[in-house]
Structure 1
Amino acid sequence: MSGARADVLALRPDDDVAVAVRELAAGDVVHVAGRDVTVAAAVPRGHKVALTDLATGAGVHKYGQVIGVATQPIRAGEHVHSHNLGYEEGHRDEALGGTHAELAVPDGPRPTFRGYRRADGRVGTRNYVAILTSVNCSASTARMIAARFTPEVLAAYPGVDGVIPLTHQSGCGLVPSSEGGRLLLRTLRGYAAHPNVGGLLVLGLGCEMVLTEQLTTPDGSGAFLGMPTTHVPGAPAPARTDPVLADLPADTVVESLTIQGEGGVRATVAAGVAAVERMLPLVAAREREECDVSELVLALNCGGSDGYSGITANPALGWASDRLVAYGAASVLAETPEVFGAEHLLTRRATRPETAQRLLDRIAWWKDYTRAGGGSLDNNPSPGNKAGGLTTILEKSLGAVAKGGRADLSAVYEYAERVAPHVGFAFMDTPGYDPVSVTGLVAGGANVVVFTTGRGSVFGCRPTPSIKVATNTPMYRAMSEDMDLDAGRIVDGTATVEEVGREIFDRILRVASGEQTVSEELAIDGQTIGAEEFVPWHVGAVT
């Protein structure tokens, strides 16, 4: 797609619409698909213009797929959007496998990055001390403790990326054995055992339903966590004899406190600061080492999508994802409500019928879930998405799945379920709401996130670095301090999908080795972006 810039882009030969790559005015003549089309009325950049006449009820095609139906007669050259394009689910051929993509490993040396090898074999890309709260009641105390560790204090520990409070709004008022309770516990445990966490302070109130000691045990037995377990870097990692600690890497420095046990907030802040101070020298002593590219677990996410998302940043990220999978790494797509309408493109790529069926089962669950809440899965795109040119959930989803490239679908995970190493391309069931979705992916072990955005989502997610890719050049220029890469050059005609994909791939390796993303570099009043985006998925009743 390099060369002279076009006025519009038709993505498939049989598409009924093309995407405007500049503001089109009434009377403009655009050349597309071998013919001239006269624009009937103004069409904003990123929006769709009809290439042919369409009768009421006719299916409208983009990406070679139906994105909706004409709700009134549409003439060639007209703006196609919410006023004349409606949602209709229609029929999709949801084949349970059947296609296979050969992803060749490129010639030459295998790429590597410099990461932190943990005792459980997983590799971290960052080295944080995390203060993980078991309940919202301990959130303020966690922030007070973390606030003591200013950049000036941490300057003495250059091997530590920060002390972050991971706070949330739950942990009590729900039934621990319920679906919501199990999701929260799995999410918190995933962060506790994350390879980007070298030191862990688990902080609770003391009487909550989710107890501090439950966050590090595989079975939630609730045995007392007890005194901190430490491991001196360079020495053989001790075996976890306490079953409560069995799910954590043996070299994670762990302590726990409860506010009630310490005698109140002031005493807990003092004890928490002392606990972190004990951890810092041990965590700082960890060193990066050369690691194969296959140790990466990439999270694929998008937010604030626009009409360019499916033709620039998402397919470029799909190229990078395929390259990682070819090398044996893991790459995980998510946001189930935002693959609805394009799930058939994923199920036919499944390596096993049961994998495809598991995705369809999750789609069915979501239909019931949204119906019970008085909504439906077609209650999307958002107002911002529509302003950017997306009209129906079908159109949005077809662009969103492009992040997953063309690799075979090897697994479907539940929310926050640990992702198997070297699993290849996989899917995780999450909401479409960005902070909740990425929280699940990070809990599953993602050590790098690539986040594409057309409207300008400023998303960070410590302890995992988030690389933000702009779908269009005007937004990238307007928000250059918040975006890492500009994929809009693809429609500008100055770069191809593969060229931008290579840039994303190379940036992933550099960030995994310690290069900061823009959200990590950003510091206002000593605060950086990322910890507040820890938002576990809440499902079910609050009692």
Structure 2
Amino acid sequence: MTDTIRLDPADNVVTATRALEAGHAVEGTATRALIPSGHKIATQAIAQGDAVRKYAQLIGYASADIAAGEHVHTHNVAFRNTDQTYDFGTDLRPARPVEPAVFQGYRRENGQVGTRNYIAVVTSVNCSATAARMIAAHFTHERLAEYPNVDGVVAYVHGTGCGMAGDGDGFEALQRVMWGYARHPNHAAVLMVGLGCEMNQIDWLLDAYGLRHSETFQTMNIQSVAGLRRTVEAGIAKITDMLPHANRATREPCPTSALKVALQCGGSDAWSGITANPALGYATDLLVAQGGTGVLAETPEIYGAEHLLTRRAVSTDVGERLIGLIRWWEDYTARNKGSMDNNPSPGNKKGGLTTILEKSLGAAAKGGTTPLTGVYKYAEEVRAAGFTFMDSPGYDPASVTGQIAGGCTLVCFTTGRGSAFGSKPAPTIKIATNSEMYARMTEDMDINAGDILSGGVSVEEKGREIFEMFLDVASGRPSKSEAQGLGDYEFVPWQIGAVM
């Protein structure tokens, strides 16, 4: 492993692969101070106001004169809002046909295919959260022992549903989340629990989305049932009746084209865009070649890289939808007195990421190279196959909640600083960007992409390893976060708008 990595000949910085003392020789110059691992070094003088480039792309502007060999980071790099020229469909690289692969999944009556077989207790409002948790808690491993094909009973509770406008972005997003979880292919049965007087009425959801009561879909309100205790008792009885129906589901061979994978990153570092994210991008290309779907999200974390995605848009309309999301976020952050550069987080910066532009260029690599076939609202059903994008915040639990509501049956999550994230009903696969963190958090990380940097493994080899894990986990192999029981508290619908 070399001491530094140059990603493109056009770059005026390189990245240190280990901590480098002052005076260390680097590309014809020498470091002027200690450079932490993962941080950038100027390879030429950069005048104040000039562009700082990495990935052959703009990542910021020098806020002071930067000498060759100097540490390049937040102390001497400034962020500016992007001012891009957008091209559409100029970089279309369709996936090559491949031999079809299969996994062992659950075929549902509506034609969807699941990777897990849960029963869901979905709340309409925070006021019914305790009831939902009590109902789900009744169904212990011991009580579910006679239903071996049921993975569990999960309560999806949240902190909103009332004190909000009855229309607009926030209300519509919450309704899409509830509908998405109600019809998710990883759920064999669903019980919805409300209070009764909340703004987010369950009956409105049923009318809006055409949901009908059945043996495996039931609803109830605490006020109508007459109190918490009776609601919990009634809920337990309803799910007890659902269990035999859910247990009839069995795994069978299913085409990989049925998989929808949420592409996520969190706790990112400088290696995210060099190891794990490109490897996940290669796995995404393999998935798309099978007819499957990859769903990239976190709109603030493609800011500064969106022009690369519009070039891959299958139509001008798809590209314009993506730009529309970028403009909405610029306005959203401005009216809330924030900045698009509020992200990266302190941990991201400690890991070597300086601006959101740099972070976004690495994050976008998770989407691979195939055409962008669709752009969706938060929690909207993802209908197009191939590489797609969903609007969401960069906050991982809220973003993943939207992707799962959109139909994702697996989540793949890259991390450099480390993460203890997990999700239900779609299990999360976690990929470490560096070997040091992987060694510290082996119990949490499913795959180490750090050996791309330190072990001579190619991005393509690692990408194929990730793709094979897609199939294994989709077929029932527990991911490490799943085996540790994560996912019961990571359901976080994005709360948009005023709380009233």
Aligned position for 1:162: 152
Q: Which of 211, 231, 244 matches 2:201?
A: 211
In the other structure, the counterpart of 2:424 is 462
Task: Establish whether residue 199 from structure 1 lines up as the match of residue 186 from structure 2.
Answer: no
Instruction: Give the alignment of 1:172-187 within 5 angstroms.
Output: 172-187=162-177
Distance 2:222 2:475 in 1: 37
Give the Å deviation of 1:255: 1.7
Instruction: Provide the residue aligned with 2:325 in structure 1.
Output: 362
Asked if 1:14 is matched to 2:6, the reply is no
1:327 to 269, 290, 294: 290
Q: How far does residue 37 in structure 1 lie from its aligned partner after superposition?
A: 3.4
The question of whether the paired residues in 1 share the 8 Å contact of 2:397 and 2:491 is answered with yes
Which residue of 1 is the match for residue 43 of structure 2? 51
CA drift of 1:289 comes to 1.1
**Residue of structure 2 in register with 1:434 after alignment:** 396
Q: State the TM-score, normalizing by the size of structure 1.
A: 0.90
The 3-state SS of whatever aligns with 1:532 is coil
- For 2:77, the aligned partner's letter is L
Matches within 5 A, 1:271-420: 271-420=234-383
CA–CA distance in structure 1, aligned partners of residues 94 and 141 of structure 2:
47
Helix, strand or coil at the partner of 1:172: coil
Change (3 A) 1:119 1:214: farther
Kindly provide the amino acid, as one letter, of the partner of residue 71 in structure 1: S
1:45-77 Cα distance to aligned partner (Å, 9 max, x none): 111111112111111110000111111121222
User: Residues 422-463 of structure 1: CA distance to partner in whole angstroms, max 9, x if unpaired?
Assistant: x21111111111111111100000011101111112111100
Deviates more, 1:326-335 or 1:210-219: 210-219
3-state SS, counterpart of residue 202 of structure 1: strand
User: How many matched pairs?
Assistant: 500
Determine the C-alpha separation between the residues in 2 that align with 1:27 and 1:151.
60
Match of 2:214 in 1: 229
Tell me the CA shift for residue 215 of structure 1. 3.6
Match of 2:491 in 1: 534
1:386 Cα deviation (Å)? Answer: 0.4
List per-residue Cα deviations over 1:397-430 (Å, max 9, x = no partner).
1001000011111111011110115x21111111
SS at match of 1:533: coil
Instruction: State the 1:217 CA deviation.
Output: 4.1
Paired residue type of 1:101? R
SS for the counterpart of 2:164 is: coil
Q: In the TM superposition, what whole-angstrom CA distance separates every residue of 1:153-205 from its partner, at most 9, and x where no partner exists?
A: 22221111111000011111222222211111111110000000001111111
Q: Give the equivalent residue in structure 2 for 1:189.
A: 179
| Residue from 65, 68, 85 that aligns with 1:73 | 65
Residue deviations 1:448-480 (CA, integer Å, cap 9, x gap): 110111111211110001101111111111111
1:521 is matched with which residue? 483
Q: Secondary structure at the match of 2:379?
A: coil
Instruction: Judge conservation of contact 1:205–1:258 (CA < 8 Å) in 2.
Output: yes
1 CA distance for matches of 2:171 and 2:82? 36
Distance 2:232 2:461 in 1: 50
The 2-side partners of 1:469 and 1:213 are apart by 41
Please give the alpha-carbon distance, in whole angstroms, between the structure 1 residues aligned to 2:62 and 2:108. Answer: 55
CA distance in 1, matches of 2:86, 2:269: 26
Mapped partners of 1:204, 1:76: distance in 2: 62
Q: Take 2:114 and 2:16, find their aligned partners in 1: how far apart are those partners?
A: 42
Percent identical among aligned pairs is 53
- The answer for the alignment partner of 1:267 in structure 2 is 230
For 2:227, the aligned partner's letter is G
- The residue aligned with 2:85 is 93
Mapping for residues 488-503 of structure 1, pairs under 5 Å: 488-503=450-465
| Cα pair 2:375 2:388 within 8 Å, conserved | yes
Q: Distance in 2 between matches of 1:202 and 1:102?
A: 41
Cα drift, residue 90 of structure 1: 5.0
Tell me, yes or no, if the aligned pair for 1:134 and 1:215 is still in contact at 8 Å: no
AA aligned opposite 2:196: G
Matching of residue 449 in structure 1 with residue 411 in structure 2: yes
Amino acid at match of 2:146: A
Whole-angstrom CA distance in 2 between matches of 1:258 and 1:457:
36
Superposed CA deviations along residues 320-371 of structure 1, whole A, max 9, x for unmatched, are: 0011111111111111111111110001111101111111111111111111
CA RMSD of aligned residues (A): 1.4
Could you tell me how far apart the structure 2 residues matched to 1:520 and 1:216 are? 31
Q: Which of the numbers 21, 27, 30 marks the counterpart of 2:23? A: 27
Question: Does structure 1 conserve the Cα–Cα contact (< 8 Å) formed by 2:433 and 2:449?
Answer: yes
Residues 90 and 198 from structure 1, CA distance in 2 versus in 1: closer, same or farther, beyond 3 angstroms?
A: closer
Query: Does the aligned pair in 1 maintain the 2:123–2:132 contact within 8 Å?
Result: yes
Output the TM-score relative to the length of structure 2.
0.97
**Aligned position for 2:74:** 82
The SS at the match of 1:163 is strand
Question: 1:463, 1:531 within 8 Å by CA — same for their partners in 2?
Answer: no
How many Å apart are 1:94 and its aligned residue? 1.3
- How many angstroms does 1:273 deviate by? 1.1
